[in-house]
Amino acid sequence: MMAEGSPERHTTGPWEVDDADEWGYIKILHLSGTGDERAEGHVAITDHEPDAHLIAAAPELLLALKWALAAMDRRDGVLLHTGDIADGERAKAAIAKAEGRE
């Protein structure tokens, strides 16, 4: 968890799921660069494949949620607000949790 007012942010995407190792642990990798400059670092490790895929999708999910909330706030017709999310509070809470502001 980040300290209050910390400038730290999550590792940028994309994140990818690696193959399980001999003990069944799966790494979620952050890949950067191309060709000979390609580097990887691990973001997380789990032994449950569905969790690995969810974790790897986190940067894209956060971006998509921010886009959806912005579209809803603009009321530009991109999203139809059906009242399922009261003024986007659940979306705002999820974004705050993802950014360590909860």
* Amino acid at the residue 76: D
Are the C-beta atoms of residues 63 and 99 closer than 8 Å to each other?
A: no
What does the pLDDT look like over 4-16, one tens digit per residue? 544 467 788 888 8
Quote the pLDDT of residue 6. Answer: 47
Q: How many residues does the chain have?
A: 102
Residue 9 domain-assigned (yes or no): no
For the stretch 65-97, pLDDT in tens is: 888 888 777 666 555 555 555 557 777 888 887
Domain that holds residue 76: 15-98
Q: What stretches of 40-80 show up as alpha helix (H) in DSSP?
A: 49-74
Per residue in 25-36, pLDDT (tens digit) is 999 998 777 766
Instruction: Confirm whether 67 is domain-assigned.
Output: yes
Residue 7 lies in a domain: no
What's the pLDDT tens digit per position in 35-59?
A: 666 667 888 999 999 899 899 889 8
Residue 85 inside a domain? The answer is yes
| Inside any domain, residue 8 | no
The answer to whether position 22 is within a domain reads yes
4 inside domain: no
Q: Residue 54, Cβ neighbours under 10 Å: how many?
A: 14
- Report yes or no on 2 lying in a domain: no
Domain count, the chain: 1
